[in-house]
Amino acid sequence: MRELTVDLGERSYPIYIGEGLLSEASSYFQRHGISKRSPLMIITNDEIAAHYLAPLQTELEAGGYRVHSAIIPAGENSKSLDMLGELVGEALEAGLDRKSAIVALGGGVVGDLAGFVAASYMRGIKFVQLPTTILAHDSSVGGKVAVNHPLAKNIIGAFHQPEFVLYDLYTLQTLPLREVKAGLSEVVKHGLIWDAEFVDWCEKHANDLLALSPDALGYALHKGCGVKAVVVSQDETEQGLRAILNLGHTIGHALEAVAGYNELLHGEAISIGMVGSARLAMKFGAPSQVYEQTKRTLAKLGLPVVLPEKYDVDKVMSAMMHDKKFAEGTMVFVLPTAIGKVEIRRDIPVDWVREVLEQLKL
């Protein structure tokens, strides 16, 4: 079992990563002062519930907890105000009070939604994260919780830190391969912004990761969560440093918008985005090895590293202009200056970006 701490003063919390942790969940709940007198509500989705809900519920009940579970439909559409309203209704009917906790069993969709339920129910109750995707190493750490509005993603939300994060590596065994790869894209991102040795490790162990070796996954998630935790503890509410977590996201978000959100997974879009940023960085003098290693590592993990021909560069450009990271006529990018190191530049000529997108098609 691996453990690390997100250091946020009074709101600090641990992340536990290991095999079979859900089968001893109640001891973690107890250790972290989750009340047995007030009911808990587990929020999960239908796909995850089929594998993991019954054993978890049984385990918690055997430990003396009163457990209500709410099952939402899988998919991003569940991150909505309507669903928030429904879950608040369920929480009231189940008798959740100020001492209760909301438990997120799932990936980023469940985590963001459940976290926002916890942040808003009775002005905020306790929250526990039980991540079941690789992407969730990112979403379960840092306390950003939200639902979507038809006009914008993640626009209704809060900062609400969990009591603890319990990451059971066994749950990843049932994750579809495409979701595995997409999650690994953010893992590599955490290396690229902070830890060169870890990027080397990812390149070397790409096959172990894709084969879901618990050892490799445990190490990679520990490293990935560790970078996220350090960045978040230095900038909890995104005043500055936290922006480096957006490496690959300027191009990535634009690609998601152009492709339609169901065609490219987020991790796939930012994989192409990270290769693009490394290419752009070369124009500011970054060594070509940075670009080459970025591309090689992501490709070894089965991620896309070229811009598919069908995406129109003009459309991607205009999607980028609408993105919030395009401020007052200057394009803002997180650019790698070396492997493991990035800088935020606000002076990117629009033409250079266009050129890079053209080059990304080759």
Q: Which residues are annotated as a binding site for Zn(2+)?
A: 186, 249, 266
Q: Which of 137, 144, 181, 190 is catalytic?
A: 144
Mark whether 160 is an active-site residue.
no
Cβ proximity to ligand NAD: between 108 and 248 the closer is: 108
Residue whose Cβ sits closest to ligand NAD: 108
Q: Specify the residue, 75 or 95, whose C-beta has the smaller distance to ligand NAD.
A: 75
Q: 268 CB contacts (<8 Å, ≥6 apart)? A: 181, 182, 185, 303, 304
Return the amino acid letter for 116: F
Best CA proximity match to 324, nearest among 276, 265, 257: 257
Q: From the CB of 235, what's the least distance to ligand NAD, in Å?
A: 13
Which contacts qualify for 340-344: CB closer than 8 Å, 24 or more apart?
340/191, 340/192, 340/193, 340/194, 340/195, 340/196, 340/197, 340/198, 340/199, 341/193, 341/196, 342/192, 342/193, 342/244, 342/247, 344/243, 344/244
Mark whether 249 is an active-site residue.
Answer: yes
Q: Is residue 144 among the annotated active site residues?
A: yes
Instruction: List the interface residues with ligand NAD, window 171-190 (CB under 6 A).
Output: 171-172, 174-175, 179
* Catalytic site residue from 266, 279, 295, 300: 266
Residue 238's SS3 state is: coil
Output 174 or 330, the one with its CB closest to ligand NAD.
174
* Residue 32 appears among annotated catalytic residues: no
Q: Annotated catalytic, 238?
A: yes
Q: Which is nearer to ligand NAD, 110 or 298 (CB)?
A: 110
Q: Using the rule CB under 6 A, is 109 a contact of ligand NAD?
A: yes
Asked whether position 12 contacts ligand NAD by CB under 6 A, the answer is no
- Selected from 2, 18, 24, 47, the binder of ligand NAD by CB under 6 A is 47
3-state SS class at 27: helix
Q: How far apart are the C-alpha atoms of 290 and 296, rounded to whole Å?
A: 10
Q: Considering the rule CB under 6 A, would residue 142 count as an interface residue with ligand NAD?
A: yes
Nearer to ligand NAD by Cβ, of 138 and 236: the residue is 138
3-class SS at 262? coil
Residue 48 found at the interface with ligand NAD (CB under 6 A) = yes
The site for ligand NAD, by CB under 6 A, has a size of: 27
Backbone phi, psi, residue 19, to 5°: -90, 130
* Site for ligand NAD contains 271 (CB under 6 A): no
Report in angstroms how near the CB of residue 10 gets to ligand NAD at its nearest.
21
- Residue 135 binds ligand NAD (CB under 6 A): yes
Written as one letter, the residue type at 20 is G
Amino acid symbol at 149? H
Provide the token pair at 106.
């799932």
35 touches ligand NAD (CB under 6 A): no
Q: Which residues of 17-46 are buried (b: 16+ CB within 10 A; e: fewer)?
A: bbbebbeebbebbeebebbeebbbbbbbbe
Catalytic residue among 79, 126, 181, 228: 228
Say if CB 276 and CB 251 are below 8 A apart.
yes
Active-site choice (59, 186, 256, 268): 186
30 near ligand NAD, judged by CB under 6 A: no
Residue 151 three-state SS:
coil
- Whichever of 39 and 115 has its CB closer to ligand NAD, that residue is 115
- Residues interacting with ligand NAD, by CB under 6 A? 45, 47-48, 51, 74, 76, 79, 106-110, 112, 132-133, 135-136, 138-139, 142, 144, 154, 171-172, 174-175, 179
